Amino acid sequence: MSDELARRDAVKAVAATGGLFLLSGLASARERDEPGGLSGEWFNGGKLDQPCAILQMGRVLLLINEKGDLATGQMTEANQFTVLKGWGGSVVGRIVDRGKVIAWKGGGAWKRG
């Protein structure tokens, strides 16, 4: 039974990811330049071989780390968000350097390509 629920959750996540990817492709460059505009490709530690992604719809975020792990998040301030589910608990990201870097509380950073 739990395997069936896990599969169902995985299918829902894949469907949501596909839909958000489709919608994020419609986002204009202007939206990405606005404060808090996080949609797009990021790189863990700035390393091009460790791509990550964020899909943003208003204050709601879908995050994919360099390992392909999914998480959901929410903007909590103009330049800060919290990961609500996934990645082992509550993780906070702060947007710095004019929106080009996400500094993770506890260490590490994602950088725009």
| Per-domain residue ranges of the chain | 2-112
Per-residue pLDDT at 9 exceeds 60: yes
Confidence (pTM):
0.70
- Given a cut of 50, whether residue 93 has pLDDT beyond it is yes
- Rounded to whole angstroms, the Cα distance separating 36 from 33 reads 8
Q: Are 109 and 46 in contact (CB under 8 A)?
A: yes
Mean of pLDDT values over 47-60: 97
